[in-house]
Amino acid sequence: MRSLAAFLDERNPDIFGLSEIESGDALAIATRFARQWAYRGGEAIFWRRMLDGPRVQEEYLPAPLGRPFERRGYLAVRARIADTPLQIAATSIVEDERDARIRRMRFLRNRLRGAPPACVLFARLPRGRVGLQDLGFFSAAVAPDGTYGIFIRRFITNEDVSQKRSYEAIGTPLCARLQLTAAG
């Protein structure tokens, strides 16, 4: 937790997402860094009070067959920034059996199709043929091992400011400076 706090102190992001975090730890981070926050199933999104009218949508991804208690979250915050509708989402789709992975990717893609054009997704996605490019997303930053990333639509990346070093207990954090593009 100290490593994460050191990273957040150093970068001071406006919006960030965390995966594989407990709700108590998410609350502690939100309190320490004075952020608004939302949590569901190991996923958390934090933001400054710059968003107008944030509305939280929280759901669980489809559970693997025969394992109804193995649940992962899908979390989305819809708001407005500079009079533009925006969605910030976070999820984690692990490399498990093919059928569960396919159902979870379908679920995610369905939710992203209904999202506003301006969207930021913090996600751990499985490697495979089906990605998010056909929905207009591209990678703003991807972990060195390719297991998680920041995916954006209707934003441009000013620079990838990810640190290539790993922090003890939190791995390699990703960070990118984004700018909203003009409507269209």
pLDDT of 184: 47
CATH code given to domain 2-180? 3.60.10.10
Phi first, then psi, for residue 106 (nearest 5°) are -60, -45
pTM of structure: 0.85
pLDDT of 101: 83
**Strand 138-142, strand 148-153: pairing:** antiparallel
Mean pLDDT in the chain? Answer: 81
Helices (H), the chain: 2-11, 23-32, 98-113
With a cut of 90, say whether residue 175 has pLDDT above it. Answer: no
Asked whether the beta carbons of 93 and 72 are under 8 A apart, the reply is yes
- With H, G, I as helix, E, B as strand and everything else as coil, classify residue 102: helix
Extended strands (E) in 61-172: 73-81, 84-92, 118-124, 138-142, 148-153, 155-160
Ranges of each domain in the chain: 2-180
Residue 98's contacts (CB-CB under 8 Å, 6 or more residues apart) are: none
- Residue at 50: amino acid letter: M
The number of C-alpha atoms within 13 Å of 169 and in the hemisphere containing its C-beta is: 8
User: Which pLDDT band holds residue 87 (cuts at 50, 70, 90)?
Assistant: very high
Residue 29's contacts (CB-CB under 8 Å, 6 or more residues apart) are: 4, 5, 8, 18, 35, 37, 44, 46
